[in-house]
């Protein structure tokens, strides 16, 4: 009897041990290394449905994940623990990737044609913005189960493409309707029953951003010169136009690529914004929202991104000037550096505290890493037609 009990104890202990060991084993048998994710990120490889996972401390790629569908114009948001990346593909695919295990943990096709997404303040809701069918859809961040949708029906039977989706405090999301000319704010306090407020904005909003404090939502207008601004602390005042007629009397140039308004473009008490159809970066006073001037640049700006400390603004350009990158010093308001990182520069991303910036050069199949103080190249890595670069530091930002 005693020996049987002893044997049972041994078996139980062995089982317990193997269970513990199991939790540290991956399917392939390799042990998962315990580590944080604060210095990780990923690069979209737009043409092949892959992402390359990267480490910004070692400046190296550490894994590659495929099977993500059409990733042209793909964008990424991160879970609040910065372990999972939600990749929004052009074909409506929404994939949840585990950065530590370097694998897809969940993938759904949520629409026919999508343009990006955002994650809620509490980290529980992931929202995708769609062109077809026009509207937004909310998913459980854990399971990717559909929670609710808000069709962008701006007039009876008329649906708009949705652009510029941004999370704002209060588990709300702000976005703009390209065809409908409105800004909508949907409150997901009850995730299955969102409440939506509508605000007339102007002609053809093409993208939007929320200021880093989550207060002001700005929608750039394509159909007219100006930007629609909604004060989310006082939504009852409605959206008003700022930087109206910034190109008065000047002929607008043809636009070969729509600018993007993402990124921290608040720096030195000013908002820095791409002028559409012009070779200018616009500066607006962050208190009065009046124009404070313009900086002439090399082409039509696409991304106008402030470094984390707000000292520099890095700008890339639309075709055919997409081989250039310029840097504006926010103190002097002058271009201080002009770089040629490679062919078809599509995106730039700063490391969390901004000592380096990573730049994708699509047609060179390379990602270049630059020192933001010396402008020297620190390294590079190979990626197939790289586009968006997304680091986990986005997990903690409002508006992403």
Partner 1 sequence: MSTRPALRRLLAAFCLGGLAGISLAQPSPARQQELIHLVRQDCGSCHGMTLQGGLGPALLPSTLADKPAESLVATIVYGRPGTAMPPWQRFLAEDEAQWIVGRLLEGFPK
d(CA 263, CA 301): 13
Sign of the four-CA dihedral 276, 281, 286, 291: negative
Question: Residue 249 Cβ, how far from partner 1 at the closest point, in Å?
Answer: 19
Instruction: Please report, as residue ranges, which positions from 323 to 362 form the binding site for partner 1 (by CB under 8 A).
Output: 344, 362
- From residue 359 to residue 378, the character string flagging contacts with partner 1 as x (rule: CB under 8 A) and all else as - is ---xx---------------
Can residue 86 be called a binding residue for partner 1 (CB under 8 A)? no
Our finding on whether 178 is near partner 1 (CB under 8 A) is yes
The window from 20-28, 51-59, 66-74, 121-129 that contacts partner 1 (CB under 8 A) reads 66-74
Compute CA distances 353 → 44, 278, 336, 358, 392, whole Å: 22, 31, 20, 13, 12
Where does this chain touch partner 1 (CB under 8 A) — which range of 100-108, 249-257, 286-294, 390-398? 249-257
78 contributes a contact to partner 1 by CB under 8 A: no
Beta carbons of 347 and 389 less than 8 angstroms apart = yes
**Edge-to-edge strand list for the sheet holding 135-140:** 113-119, 125-132, 135-140, 146-151
> Please, what is the minimum distance in Å from the beta carbon of residue 48 to partner 1?
11
Give the Cα separation of 61 and 112 in Å (integer): 31
Selected from 78, 131, 246, 350, the binder of partner 1 by CB under 8 A is 131
Q: Between residues 132 and 382, which has the closer beta carbon with respect to partner 1?
A: 132
Q: Sign of the C-alpha dihedral, residues 13, 19, 20, 22?
A: positive
User: Of 70, 101, 355, 384, which lies in the binding site for partner 1, with binding defined by CB under 8 A?
Assistant: 70
Q: Which residue has the tokens 């989706």?
A: 165
Three state DSSP letters for 194-217: CEEEEEECCCCEEEEEECCCCCEE
Choose which of 234, 254, 287, 376 interacts with partner 1 (CB under 8 A): 254
For residue 72, the tally of other CB atoms under 10 A from its CB is 13
- What track of x and - describes contact with partner 1 for positions 295 through 324 (by CB under 8 A)? ------------------------xx----
Residue 241 touches partner 1, criterion: CB under 8 A: no
Contact flag: residue 136 with partner 1 (CB under 8 A): no
Among 38, 39, 47, 356, binds partner 1 (CB under 8 A): 47
Asked whether position 72 contacts partner 1 by CB under 8 A, the answer is: yes
Q: Residue 169 has which token pair?
A: 């405090």
Q: How many of the other CB atoms lie within 10 Å of CB of 200?
A: 11
Q: How far is CA 357 from CA 53, 292, 325, 366, in A?
A: 16, 27, 12, 14
**Binding-site ranges for partner 1 (CB under 8 A):** 46-47, 70, 72-73, 90-91, 113, 115, 131-132, 161, 163, 178, 204, 206, 222, 254-258, 319-320, 344, 362-363
């Amino acid at each position: 009897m005693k020996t049987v009990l002893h044997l049972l104890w041994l078996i139980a202990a062995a089982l317990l041990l193997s269970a513990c060991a199991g939790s540290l084993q991956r399917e392939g048998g390799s042990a998962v290394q315990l580590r944080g994710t604060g210095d990780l990120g990923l690069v979209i490889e737009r043409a092949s449905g892959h992402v390359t996972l990267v480490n910004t401390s070692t400046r190296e790629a550490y894994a590659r994940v495929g099977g993500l569908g059409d990733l042209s114009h793909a964008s990424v948001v991160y879970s609040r623990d910065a372990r999972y990346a939600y990749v929004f593909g052009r074909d409506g695919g929404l994939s949840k990737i585990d950065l530590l295990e370097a694998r897809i943990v969940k993938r759904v096709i949520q629409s026919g044609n999508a343009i990006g997404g955002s994650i809620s303040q509490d980290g529980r809701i992931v929202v995708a913005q769609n062109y077809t069918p026009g509207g937004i859809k909310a998913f459980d961040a854990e399971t990717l189960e559909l929670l609710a949708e808000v069709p962008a029906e701006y007039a009876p039977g008329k649906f708009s493409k949705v652009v510029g989706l941004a999370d704002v405090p209060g588990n709300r999301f702000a976005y703009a309707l390209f065809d409908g000319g409105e800004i909508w704010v949907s409150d997901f306090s009850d995730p299955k029953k969102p409440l939506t407020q509508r605000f007339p904005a102007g002609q053809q909003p093409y993208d939007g951003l929320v200021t880093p404090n989550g207060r002001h939502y700005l929608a750039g207008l394509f159909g007219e010169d100006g930007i629609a601004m909604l004060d989310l602390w006082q939504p009852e005042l409605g959206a008003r136009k700022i930087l109206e007629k910034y190109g008065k009397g000047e002929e607008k140039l043809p636009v070969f690529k729509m600018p993007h308004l993402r990124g921290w473009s608040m720096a030195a008490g000013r908002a820095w914004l791409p002028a559409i159809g012009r070779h200018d970066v616009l500066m607006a006073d962050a208190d009065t929202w009046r124009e404070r001037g313009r900086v002439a640049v090399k082409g039509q700006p696409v991304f106008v991104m402030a470094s984390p400390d707000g000292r520099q603004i890095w700008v890339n350009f639309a075709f055919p000037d997409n081989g250039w990158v310029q840097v504006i010093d926010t103190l002097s308001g002058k271009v201080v550096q002009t770089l040629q990182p490679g062919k078809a520069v599509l995106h730039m991303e700063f490391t969390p505290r901004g000592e380096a910036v990573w730049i994708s050069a699509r047609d060179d199949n390379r990602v270049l890493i630059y020192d933001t103080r010396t402008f020297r190249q620190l390294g590079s890595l190979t990626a197939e037609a790289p586009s968006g670069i997304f680091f986990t530091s986005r997990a903690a930002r409002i508006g992403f």
